[in-house]
Structure formats: C-alpha cells, structure tokens
Amino acid sequence: MARRVTPVTRLARLWSVLAGAKTMLIVVQNNPDPDAIAAAAALREIAKQIHGTACSVAHAGVVGRAENKALLDYLRLNTRELETLDLERFERIGMVDAQPGAGNVNFDPSVRLDVVIDHHPIRRETRSARFTDVRSRYGATCSMLYEYLSTAQIEIPTRLATAMIYGIRSDTQDLGRESTKADVEAYLGLYPLANARVLGRIVSAPLPNSYFSKLRVALDQAMVYGNRIVSDLGELDSPEMVAEAADLLLRAEDVSWTMCSGVIEGWIHLSLRTTDRDGNAGRIARNLGGRRGFGGGHGALAASQIPIPNGRTKREVKNMIKSLTRRFLKATGGDKVSGSPLCG
C-alpha cells in the first residue's frame, strides 16, 4: 500500500487534476496572511504555466494589516469576496494554506474541492478533495509550493519569489519557529530570485493611527500570570491584531505562553502562542473552540473562534472571555496564580 510519494508524483497528480481547466478559483483563509497570499499566487502561476488556466483568488473577511495590503498591491493580486462569488462559474476550485471545515475559512465544506495544499494538521473534510497535499510538519505552505514550482521547472517571477520569501518568513518567524529543512531549502532557493529591497518596504509598510490605538489597548490590557500573558483587545473590525499582539507579547521576558482575544462580528477570536517546545497550542485552541466554535493550529501557534449567542450584553461577553482565560490558564500550568498588569 505504501507508495512512495515524491515531488514528481505529486506534480503529476496535480497536473492531471488541473488538465483541461480554463478557470480555477483559489480559496484562502479569511483575512489571509502572507503565506496564504503568496501560496495562492504560486498555485495561480503553476496552473497558468502548465495548463493556461486563469485563476481567481478569493477569501472571506478583509485584509486589514498594512503589510498584507502592501503585499497584495505588489503582487497585483485583486482578491475577490468569497461570499459574492458563484462557485459554479469555475471549472476547478482549490484551497491553499487552509482546509475545508476549518474555523478560519468561511467555505461550505460540502463543496467538493479539486485541490487542497496546506500545512495545517489534516482534517476529515479534506480527504474528499480530488487532490490533497497536506504536510503539517512544514512551516509554510509556500515551501510546499516551491517544490512544485521547482519540480515543474517553472521560472519563478521576482514578485512571486519575493512574496513567497515573505510567506515563509512570517509563518516561521524568520525560520525560527515550526520550520523544517524544506522551509530552509525553499527560502534559500527563492532568495536569489527575490527583491530584498522591495520586501523590506512591504515588511515596514506605513501603519495607520488605528494600528497604534489597538496596540495600546493590547498593552494596557495585558496581564501577566507567571510565565503567561493574556490580553483582551475588545471589539475589532478584523482579527489580525489579535494574532499580532499574541506574537509581540510572547517576546516578553520569562514568558512562554500568550493568549490574546478580540470580538469581531459576533465571534470571540483567540490567538495562542508558545515558545514551549512541548506545548500543544493547537490542542488547547481546539478545546477552547468547543463544539459550537472552531479551534486548531500548530504546536506553537493556534487560534479559536467562539460564537457569541444572540442577545448577549457586553458584560456577558466579557464573562465569556474571562472563562476562556481561566481555561487557558488551567491548560498551561494552572489558574491559581494571580495576575498583574504587564505595563505597571
């Protein structure tokens, strides 16, 4: 039964699934991050080069983060609003850096996908896709797509290489987190093709005032519980700052776990991070998501979404977040320690 899967056999299978298609829709996670954006651009390039397939990229939610907006502009990638699209119009549907049924993608999991390429732990719904490539040990989906591009001997345009470098860097925190040899190889292969100067501009894209206001809330609300920091950012337009704050606070001295929360359109969003090599943020996030919500991710970084039942007051929502916080603290070494503000 064990058939050896090589980059060549994977490419051949992808090739045959895409054969004959004039159009393909590539779906990425809600509020896509650089790895999702660049992976979609890479799959688009592959489909174009091998079959002349014209691809559109779609997602739910907005791209709020300045760096990600700059990346889309640079790639000249006009993403479409997933909710407004008629899926029937596309001959193929693919998904990258996400899987059907996951909490971070508003996509009907009963729609049969032709292609799923992702680096999150495999989900049951994914198995019904015609072509599936899920490798959870990879730090970035871009590293997987680099293999396809190089196996197919497709010349990688500068803009795409630059975007993929950014995807790998941001998903692995500069190859320091959850990265494997394959991520390093992809990075080294892409680097000579990329434009480092442009990448520098994207990474330091100008930030709106609202960014600093949200950051201030994150810092003001940050509470230290031993080696853990928890912060609730309150109501937000998009969940990106929740993840960013969780990353930033994890850099605090003597801290090995963070959990940040925010409320977006009737859902509580949680981002969990850990530097603990044995920590399983993904499992905790899944538990916090519960039966009504979603949760998942990797060992070191994960997220959950919990729906807020209709008619809840602000105070009741705060209490929901408090209870999630207690459960997080219990799961990461105990809730018997009292908290103190991070910033005096």
Query: Nearer Cβ to Mn ion, position 35 or 67?
Result: 35
Query: Nearer Cβ to Mn ion, position 35 or 133?
Result: 35
Binding mask 88-107 for Mn ion (x = CB under 5 A): ---------x----------
Binding mask 140-159 for Mn ion (x = CB under 5 A): -x------------------
Query: Nearer Cβ to Mn ion, position 133 or 232?
Result: 133
How many whole angstroms separate alpha carbon 102 and alpha carbon 87? Answer: 19
CA distances from 40 to 63, 85, 204 (A): 15, 17, 22
Residues near Mn ion (CB under 5 A), total: 4
DSSP string covering 137-176: T-S-HHHHHHHHHHHTTPPPPHHHHHHHHHHHHHHTTTTT
Query: Nearer Cβ to Mn ion, position 38 or 250?
Result: 38
Binding mask 29-48 for Mn ion (x = CB under 5 A): ------x-------------
How many whole angstroms separate alpha carbon 234 and alpha carbon 242? Answer: 10
Of 171, 178, 232, 244, the residue at the interface with Mn ion (CB under 5 A) is 171
The dihedral sign for the CA sequence 45, 104, 202, 255: negative
Residue least distant from Mn ion (Cβ): 35
Query: Nearer Cβ to Mn ion, position 97 or 147?
Result: 97
Examine residue 67 and tell whether it contacts Mn ion (CB under 5 A): no
How many whole angstroms separate alpha carbon 122 and alpha carbon 133? Answer: 9
From 121-129, 169-177, 267-275, 317-325, give the range in contact with Mn ion by CB under 5 A.
169-177
Helix (H) or strand (E) holding 26: strand 23-27
Provide the minimum distance between the beta carbon of 33 and Mn ion in the complex, in angstroms, as a whole number. Answer: 7
Query: Nearer Cβ to Mn ion, position 268 or 303?
Result: 303
- Strands of 28-91, DSSP E: 54-59, 80-81
How many whole angstroms separate alpha carbon 315 and alpha carbon 309? Answer: 13
Q: Which residues contact 301 (CB under 8 A, 6 or more apart)?
A: 177, 178, 246, 271, 272, 273, 274, 281
Per CB under 5 A, residues contacting Mn ion are 35, 97, 141, 171
